[in-house]
A = this chain, B = another copy of it.
Amino acid sequence: MNSYKEKLSNYIKKNNSNLCIGIDIDKQFLPKNSSLKNLIEYSFSVVDQTREFCVAYKPNLAFFEEWGSEGFIWLEKLLEHIGDQHIIICDAKRGDIGNTAKHYANAYFETFGFDAITLNPFLGSDSLLPFLQFPNKGIYVLCQTSNKSAPQLQQNTSSKVIEICEELDNNNIGLVVGATNSEGMKSIRTKTKLPFLIPGIGAQGGNLQEIISINKEFKFETIINVSRAIIFSESISSTAEQYNNMINEFYEN
């Protein structure tokens, strides 16, 4: 069985893409009085219009949980609709004591069948270990997030997060490193060769060219996420294509 890292590289090659599309269907960006049914249709249409321009989809669970159990039925249908030609990353940022983490791992790797999940390392390695019992699944551990208040607790933790992840890695661990702080990303890149999942491009304002130059050697392991700037654009398909072309061009030059 392939490791997650091998699967990731294979898919990046096969799809000729490092682009991940974040599926955060926020009703405030859709016509007023949109029903859950409208949102479900919209999410399917986002997938249909972008399949050939991305390597991964990343549903953000908050936008499903908001709808209660109906939201999880939607998530199940969405995963089926995406199929198996893309990496599907569960953006859940879970983090809990070991006994609980085991049940989160079962939830998202077995019940839902995601390929990878984002995790919060605040509880330390206990909270990551149960997810590593699934050798062909990946975890992306928050190392530097893309929001303004990130440095409050993270300014002194990134070295420790890297150390924990390097120690546990079996070709199945990556780091979430936000594009909004490129100096921080550079510094993290000098300390580790772990794959990065990079949010913060698009609505959050990160500089695409700069973050690719930092990850130039890691073409076949890097995932660059764009959510709102694609899924709520006027022409979803061509915006996704443009982002994908830009990424490929910056990697070539």
Contacts and interface: CB of A to CB of B under 8 A. Distances in A.
Contacts of A154: 122-124
Interface string A91-135: 001111111110110111001100000001111111100000000
B152 A125 contact: yes
Interface string A8-45: 00000000000000001010000000000000000000
A121 B124 contact: no
Interface centre among A24, A26, A93 (most CB of B within 10 A): A93
B150 A96 contact: no
Interface centre among A98, A99, A111 (most CB of B within 10 A): A99
A37 to B, nearest CB: 16
Contacts of A99: 26
A124 B151 contact: yes
A83 to B, nearest CB: 18
A68 B124 contact: no
A250 interface: no
A147 B97 CA distance: 6
Contacts of A107: 62, 65-68, 71
8 contacts: A24-B100, A67-B111, A68-B72, A69-B69, A120-B122, A123-B145, A152-B160, A153-B161
